[in-house]
């Protein structure tokens, strides 16, 4: 097929957090992740901002995504980012 179709992505970012003090505030989304459309074979970047720095775990369904040739994962403080390279329909 010479035409490439947009591939909708609906990935959920779930922050994981260890609370060391009972009065600690929970981690909240300051900027939630938006749905993105992209073309097969290209890359897409998903990002969000948390209320404070906390470890982030990216998942697709029940599968935890790990850094690889396919996935680039970065986090700086409360900003988390996932890049998915070489998109195909299985990434939707």
Flag whether 25 is in a domain: no
Mean pLDDT of the chain: 81
* Stretch 25-40: mean pLDDT: 81
Structural domain of residue 38, as residue ranges? 34-56+71-91
Q: Is residue 79 part of a domain?
A: yes
pLDDT higher than threshold 70 for residue 33: yes
Distance CA 65, CA 60 (A): 7
pLDDT digits (tens, 9 = 90+) for 49-85: 888 888 889 998 889 999 999 999 999 999 999 999 9
User: Between residues 46 and 17, which one has the greater pLDDT?
Assistant: 46
* pLDDT confidence of residue 73: 95
Name the residue among 41, 29, 88, 39 with its Cα closest to residue 60: 88
Distance CA 78, CA 63 (A): 23
Domain membership of residue 80 (yes or no) is: yes
Nearest C-alpha neighbor of 5 from the set 88, 63, 91:
88
For position 23, what pLDDT does the model report?
47
């Amino acid at each position: 097929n010479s035409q490439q179709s947009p591939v909708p992505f609906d990935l959920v970012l779930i922050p994981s957090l260890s609370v060391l003090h009972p009065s600690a505030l929970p981690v909240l989304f300051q900027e939630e992740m938006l749905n993105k459309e992209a073309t097969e074979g290209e890359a897409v970047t998903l990002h969000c901002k948390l209320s404070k720095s906390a470890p982030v775990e990216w998942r697709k369904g029940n599968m935890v995504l790990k850094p690889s040739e396919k996935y680039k994962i970065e986090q700086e403080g409360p900003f988390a980012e996932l890049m998915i390279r070489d998109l195909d329909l299985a990434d939707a």
